[in-house]
Structure 1
């Protein structure tokens, strides 16, 4: 007997559940949450602090904000690269401090250009050492860079004898503090250009795609052919070099090398990263978001200064902002257990 198979008609898609359009809109909105939240925060901060003091929105205030953003943005960029691969570098601020001491020590002896190249090379070497210990010895990046932070602070104080280091060259004044564009410090231009370059590298190069792959799922990235160890080493070295640039900017703005000078900015740099929407769990975010996060942190700091909020309360506020930002950006699916 011949079996007859009845022709099958194409099945129609199941009807959309009630309210599906609204949920779809919410889902699309959630995709842009990490950009929308800091953008709304910037607008809200400007409106609030302007309502408290009429001088908040002014040319002088804008220049001050740009000057603070220059250093913080570059320092936070250094930390962003490592966080994107699922690690963390707590030594970026100490690396910046060492770079600031070295540029003040070397710039008169070796000339500006050579001194800057040497300082960036030292910063990259420090980052490479972090990467080697993390990838080859399998020590968590948190512990490696925590120890490196202490080492770098000791080296910085040893070189400077625990005091400020002065220099005569006027190169840093021209490079960092002068304005090629009226009312825009060159340091801010450097920060914007570095952010643009870092964003292109992150989103338009194979290295950037591998970086996100490692941060998203290191094991899967390795199985798909990504050279995970090489990517990590390159990222740590890149972070160290960028941290050194931040230190050069810091010393140019201070007009002297300051021991422990940049160390106090570590919390602010982490805050800028997470407030901008880069998740500490890795694989989500990017340099462009760090620029936005730095703007939020600088506006918050400048506004609290102008409105005479005491320094201790400012620390409380910034700590609360970091906790809130981490809670909003962390990918809880990446962790089997929250400890």
Structure 2
């Protein structure tokens, strides 16, 4: 059983892990404790190709200084040689006597480090602060299992389900509190997606902004999907991050490519056509629907064809939450009776 000192060290390792970037590799932190329980070194993973958290921490110690020490790590030490060597071997060579980690590695390529350590006589403890560690890298875990990012589809609508008035005007259906919430959620995503139709019609910047219009520190990668050309002077081309353009309607292929780039969470704001396509193709893991207490009538529906020919084929949803944002409502929902992509590690 983990000691109080080891649990504290794991919580510190989780703080360190958050310093690392989201991407192809998980965010991992490590703390090396002396046999007496003092902190000898700390480390975290800084991105693909850089030393893993355990090696980062060990690199701060003189040769032999980790002999008999305990390594506290947020993810099972890897048993895999890629751009870097196996962390399990690095810990063995350093003479570490005990390893405490939070989560088993879910990937076939890297798993097995715990067994390798045990076989070499190292005392291994797993599952310490597992829930917190799982929450930290849940999107990365889902990406390993499915091969694609988590997809959130967002739209704003009137009470009667319209995204715009009949003349096409839509700013603003919802109020400032709802718009503030949207920008906060954009900043939490790795990529923001729109269709070429929306880019052509609305010229969105696809940035995450504060109330005054200034850019938030975290910015999603702008992604534009569709066959039409994007104008050279389009606002999206001035985004602080380099836009990605996909000349295709194959959303599965787009998500596979984004996943291969390390994108873990996608925020879709592409208008009714693109939103409907993600839902129709079964690629929407979460829906954010901002509902304003206004009536617009007309033909500008917020959602189009989602592949429902009859009521028996209706796409049933499970509502996760309903929140009041000023005068508006935010309904968060997802497909009913489907496995949780955030699942267990």
TM-score interval, smaller chain: under 0.3
Q: Greater RCO between the two (CA within 8 Å, min separation 6)? A: 1
Give TM-score scaled by structure 2 length: 0.22
Higher strand share: 2
